[in-house]
Amino acid sequence: MSAQILPHEVLLDDWFVALREVEPGSPAAFFDRDGTLIRNVPYLADSDEVCLERGAVEALSAYRRSGFAIIVITNQSGIARGLVTPAQYASVNQRMINLLGADLVDAIIACPFHPEGVAPWNVPDHPWRKPATGMIDAAASRFGVDVARSVLLGDSVIDIEAGLRAGIGHLIHLGTGHGQRDRAAVENLSRANPGTRISCLASLQSLEVEELAR
């Protein structure tokens, strides 16, 4: 007997948007969206409010030159809560891509599920919702990226936890967005996992290009 396919599993294909081909075996730079690439606006639904974080274009360009695939992974509970429509979410993404440059993003993966949402989005402990690793796992499966040589950048402790669980080689916590709120928790996580490279930076502007591929 085949396993039952749940409605939320059918919906997942709609939330993995591949924009470019990725060479199998490449490392990936996994970026959170809100508070990392763009300014954090709670439940962002208006594309006119999209504003890039300083250094976003330069950071993505540097990773691109260093041979990294660039993949955005983002929790979007506003969709589950009925505060953001799928069309508004897509419009925000398109505005972000327009500002970044179309050749700088290979894929955008989102988790629209949240236990406090409305059906069909009210899924408890969804495997794609960070700090779970589902979005990273999906990218690795689809593109064949080398997770161990990859890097993850985010402003929240749950970003860093997801990268740690997935076995990403370098985790970078940024002080933008929720970064200042979560910095102490990330530092505690770093001390508890001395074998994992976790860097704490003020912003994307603090990235040193020569350090990116190490």
Enumerate the active-site residues. Answer: 32, 34
pLDDT at position 8 is 47
Token couple for 109: 């993966």
10 pLDDT band (50/70/90 cuts)? very low
pLDDT at position 211 is 56
- CATH number for the segment(s) 7-209: 3.40.50.1000
**DSSP H helical ranges for 33-106:** 56-65, 77-80, 86-100
Identify any residues that bridge with 159 across adjacent strands, giving them in sequence order: none
Beta strand pairing call for 107-111 and 16-18: antiparallel
Distance of CA 137 to the CA centre of its chain: 12
Task: Say what percent of the chain tops pLDDT 70.
Answer: 92
Q: List, for residues 142-181, the tens digit of each pLDDT value.
A: 999 999 999 999 999 999 999 999 999 999 999 999 999 9
Q: List, for residues 105-153, the tens digit of each pLDDT value.
A: 999 999 999 999 999 999 999 999 999 999 999 999 999 999 999 999 9
d(CA 45, CA 180): 24
Q: Would you mind telling me the total number of residues written for the chain in this entry?
A: 214
Segment (H or E) for 172 = strand 170-174
User: Which of 114, 193, 131, 190 is closest to 166 using CA atoms?
Assistant: 131
Beta strand pairing call for 28-31 and 151-154: parallel
Contact by Cβ (8 Å): 67, 25:
no
Contact by Cβ (8 Å): 65, 214:
no
More confident residue, 102 or 193: 193
**Rounded mean pLDDT, 4-29:** 78
Who's near 132: CB < 8 A, 6+ residues apart?
Answer: 125, 126, 162, 165
| Terminal alpha carbon distance of the chain | 47
Beta strand pairing call for 107-111 and 69-75: parallel
Q: How far is CA 88 from CA 76, 92, 140, in A?
A: 12, 6, 27
Contact by Cβ (8 Å): 193, 48:
no
- Domain residue spans of the chain: 7-209
Considering the entire predicted model, what is its pTM? 0.93
Q: List, for residues 37-77, the tens digit of each pLDDT value.
A: 999 999 999 999 999 999 999 999 999 999 999 999 999 99
